[in-house]
Amino acid sequence: MEFEVGSTTRMIITVTFLIYSCVLIGVGLYAKRQMDKTAIDKYVQEFYTGGRRMGALVVALMIAAGLCSAGTFLGGPGLGYSVGLSWVMAAFSQNFMNFCVLGEIGKKVGIVARRIDAQSYVDLFVYRYNHNKIVGLIGVVSIVVFMGSYVVAQFVGGARLFETMTGFSYGFGLTLFAIVVLIYSAFGGIRGVSLAIVVQGFVMTIAVFALFIGGLRYIGSIEAATKTIAQINPKLISPWAWSPLYQFSLWLVFGLVFIGVPHGAMGCLVYRDTKVMHRAIILGTIFVVLWTIILPWLGQLTRAVYPNLSVPDHAIPSLIMTVLPPWLAGLAVAGVAGAIQSTVGAMIIVISSAIVKDAYRVYINPHAESEKLKKITIWSTIIICVAIFICALFPPPALEWVIVFAIGGLAAAFFWPLLFGLYWMRANEYGAASSMIGGMITYIIARGG
């Protein structure tokens, strides 16, 4: 049975979502006005790091909302629906992502970034490994390949959600998402992204609470729902449908090695001081635990309500439409969209910084003037948005597997060179380059097999 959305409900959801989008566009235009006041010689630094003056809430949500994306709000519940409790248990590994990122590398990266004036994730590698161009080039390629596929999946998730909930076409939803993200990321830089993330983070949290309360009230007895799911497939209620070894690998990918995901580690480059960093760990953990405990589990329970969804990623949208009134459903849709857009914005900044700072300035025009860099920064970000939009016109069938592939690839390329580079003096550029190349190749072969 598939869920159905009435025309009146679709209209209310559409209006709510458009209001939310207008708010984000307003945030982007405000950030642009602030960026226009920036001195030309400081523009690139402000665009990518915000002058390293970000507060605890911004840093917490930059990591939490930036990493909890379509995977947590759509793909994760979709796997909970199709795979069952095995995925629900695996998803819990991301609960302490803020602690993993800021606790493992936050203070060290903050000190080093200020010392060398790092404005991108790859800057850290290039400086640490004796300005080796091969290390820098591999870093840029890794970010473009893996993060590029990651951000395309986010756009696809947002457009699918909009299509399902409003009745408008996939292309229209994709265009709307692209325009909103383009305005606050390309014209507002990290400042626009951070302001948007704060708005999105709160909307996401309100949406999750509303869905949690409405979902449990509608489903009723958890025991009865679990028995219904067990009749469909007993493996859906077992946390060990996957082998312990595979479960452990997922806990590593979504837990310890999150420092290898550049848009998450970007939070380490922008916080104001160590007190802010410590508060961001606590705040971020609160947000992520709330989102992660509730959503994959609700995705699994949706199986008892809609046992035959043709698209598992529709688990959360179907539950939203079933248990919430239209205006609140619109807010919930905005919350899911916020999770996607916050991640996309952070990723676009990372990709842009890699291209401008670590490719253009190193290999093409090392002596570029400030005015030239400003133009290149803005236009490269716009081109990235357009390229992602074009790629998203041809969506993959399952979002979460694309996201898992991208996170694993980024971690395989960056985790060990970053960790050893920060904490082992004997690490050198030859080992770093070998680790990055070997990690990517091994990972791609292993995933392909």
Q: 449 pLDDT band (50/70/90 cuts)? A: low
pLDDT of residue 45: 80
Distance of CA 373 to the CA centre of its chain: 27
Tens of pLDDT, residue by residue over 88-115, are 888 888 888 888 889 888 898 888 888 8
Rounded CA-CA distance 332/291 in Å is 13
DSSP alpha helix (H) spans, 84-132: 85-91, 97-98, 107-116, 121-128
pLDDT of residue 275: 93
Q: 396 pLDDT band (50/70/90 cuts)? A: low
pLDDT of residue 442: 86
- The pair of three-digit structure tokens given for residue 48, joined into one six-digit string: 């990518």
Question: Sign of the C-alpha dihedral, residues 105, 98, 21, 341?
Answer: positive
Q: 220 pLDDT band (50/70/90 cuts)? A: confident
- The pair of three-digit structure tokens given for residue 235, joined into one six-digit string: 């493996």
pLDDT of residue 435: 92
> Comparing 167-176, 352-361, 381-390, 402-411, which segment has the lowest mean pLDDT?
402-411
pLDDT of residue 280: 93
pLDDT at residue 1 above 70? no
Q: Distances in Å between the alpha carbon of 162 and those of 211, 318, 375?
A: 17, 12, 33
Phi, psi for residue 240 in degrees, rounded to 5 = -120, 35
Rounded CA-CA distance 188/349 in Å is 10
pLDDT at residue 69 above 60? yes
- Over residues 201-222, the mean pLDDT reads 89
The 8-class DSSP code of residue 300 comes to H
Contacts of residues 222-231 at CB distance under 8 Å and 24 or more positions apart, as own/partner, are 222/301, 224/304, 225/301, 225/304, 225/305, 226/304, 228/303, 228/304, 228/307, 229/84, 229/300, 229/301, 229/303, 229/304
- The pair of three-digit structure tokens given for residue 5, joined into one six-digit string: 């959305």
pLDDT of residue 239: 84
- Over residues 153-166, the mean pLDDT reads 79
Mean of the per-residue pLDDT values for the chain?
Answer: 85
> 100: how many CB neighbours lie within 10 A of its CB?
24
pLDDT of residue 5: 63
Tens of pLDDT, residue by residue over 257-275, are 777 788 778 888 889 999 9
* Prediction pTM value: 0.83
CA angle, 421 as apex, 420 and 423 as ends, to 5°?
60
Rounded CA-CA distance 316/350 in Å is 29
Tens of pLDDT, residue by residue over 325-374, are 888 888 888 887 877 777 788 888 888 888 887 888 777 888 888 888 88
